[in-house]
Amino acid sequence: MPCPKCGSETKIIAFIPRWILRGVFLCQRLRTARVSYSVEKQTPISPFGRLVPESHARKILTAGCLLFIVLSVWGIIALPQDSDIWFYKHWSRLVTMKGISAAYSGSSSKDFVDYPPFLLYAWKVEGHIYQRFVDPEFDEDKMLESGEHTFGLALIATIFHVATGLALYRLLARRYGASPAATAALMYLLNPAVLFDIAYLGLPDTVHSFWLVLAFGLAESGSTRSGWVTGALAALTKPQAWGLAPLFLWRRFQADQTKQNLTGAAVALGTIALVIAPFIVNGKLADLCSLPTYMAKVQPYVSAQAHNLWWLATMGDGLNVLDARPLLGPLSYRDTSLILLAASGLLVLWLAHKAGTKLFLQLPAFQAFAWFCLTTRAHENHWFFVLPLAALALPSDRRMLWIFAAISTTGFLNVFLHNPFLGVTLASMISTGVIHAAQLLNSAANLIILTVWTVLLIRVRKRLSDEPAPSSINAVPPTGL
């Protein structure tokens, strides 16, 4: 209605008392402030955003990769390597001289590989390079003394580690931005526990970790088919990945992506067929199928120096107790472990049911850590794949910073306190009783971390489930690599 004096509608506001206008404006400001606070409370700014400048994130990440490569190369050359390198050298020579299909045909630890087949290809490539440039005859005695062969085998872990860091950056940058992504990747790349495992021990834990990060990260970002393929490659690399298969399958079939899941599963089966093709062509498929039975017989102890429930339960005597020994009536250590693992697996599936991305990205790392803490026969380095999976969830919840730091500390102490070379030095400086007590305290610390993490996940399940349900995950643009 126009103003009766001037005919203008804009001046009608002059007839409204000022106190009413002030009240309306105040209510609007309060409402805006409340909405802003609510949004900020539900989606807090990642603490990573202020650690690495957005404009220099890629340069800093590149510098971190180069720094790790330098430290890793120095460690491989200057430090004595772990005894597992002895096995890797023999297995590299085996698949180089006799072919991939010969990996599971032997009877001794030198000519029967206790790893799934993917790593055979990396060892074969390294073996051919060693044979071409160092020793055309691939003499066994010379091979065992060769520093070049040691360097080449340890370099495999370094390459996959850097690839994992770059994959973390690409997967996280699309969702959180360059700064949080680079910070999370650097926290993994330059982690002292990781550096110790790779540069000093020379263990290939980075390979299956790389495929697992891609499997969960790509699938959760919408690249369902790529997630299936990389998940299959993880399963073909190390058996630790098998325990995460139920979570991956549960998440994928919860989503309304039937076509993508079917095609992804088909491509994954094709990938598996391609990797095991040498065994099919040479009639050695039965040898490959004997691998699970063989691995089930390797070091059937309660704990192979893993600081977990069983190392604590046996008071550090896990290497002298067979897991088939009765523990609770008819239940053996192994039976009890399987019950606990089943319970933790069901808990994880319950947490994953219709969970938002923020919550779900914590679950692969949580299940991996629960497996390490509750299983028998675990080794001191089997916690490794928890860290790259946990790095996927670092920008989403500030409490993951504390969990990541805690597991990094206990993981480092686990491999450090059992290293045979450092053990001699420590024994000369500190009494064995103190070292033994430190091992038990570290085991207890891991169980405390698992308990706290479990409680936190249960409490935040609803709060972190505010993102789109799995049926709409595909709306997120694929990250790609």
Chunked mean pLDDT (size 10), the chain, 481 residues:
49 48 50 38 47 84 95 85 86 96 91 95 97 95 92 94 96 91 95 88 91 96 94 96 96 86 96 97 95 89 96 95 94 97 96 88 97 96 96 91 96 87 66 89 98 93 56 40 37
**pLDDT value at position 122?**
97
pLDDT at residue 433, rounded to an integer: 85
Residue 351 pLDDT: 94
For residue 322, the 8-state DSSP code is: B
Query: Do residues 144 and 18 touch, judged by C-beta distance below 8 A?
Result: no
Q: Is 317 helix (H, G, I), strand (E, B) or coil?
A: coil
Distance CA 438, CA 381 (A): 17
* Whole-angstrom distance, CA of residue 383 vs CA of residue 101: 30
Residue 343 pLDDT: 97
Least Cα distance to 319 among 306, 338, 336, 332 occurs for: 306
Interatomic CA distance for residues 211 and 215, integer angstroms: 6
Q: Which burial class, exposed, middle or buried, applies to 273 when counting CB atoms under 10 A from its CB (0-12, 13-18, 19+)?
A: exposed
Structure tokens at 266: 């088909």
* Distant-in-sequence, close-in-space partners of 396: CB < 8 Å, separation ≥ 6: 46, 176, 357, 358, 361, 362, 464
**Taking a C-beta distance cutoff of 8 angstroms, is the pair 80, 421 a contact?**
yes
Q: Which residue in this structure is represented by tokens 């629960």?
A: 370
Amino acid 434: pLDDT = 87
The Cα 12–Cα 474 span in angstroms is 51
Q: Give the integer Cα–Cα distance in Å for 479 and 164.
A: 15
- Give the integer Cα–Cα distance in Å for 231 and 244: 9
DSSP state of 326: E
Sequence ranges of the domains in the chain: 10-42, 47-475
Using CA of residue 47, residue 50, residue 54, residue 59, what is the dihedral sign?
negative
| Cβ contact 372:157 at 8 Å | no
Q: What is the DSSP string of 133-196?
A: HT-TT--HHHHHH-HHHHHHHHHHHHHHHHHHHHHHHHHHHHHH-HHHHHHHHHHHHT-HHHHI
pLDDT at 363: 96
How far is residue 118 CA from its own chain's centroid?
18
Of 307, 301, 243, 335, nearest to 449 by C-alpha is 307
Strand partners, 332: 326
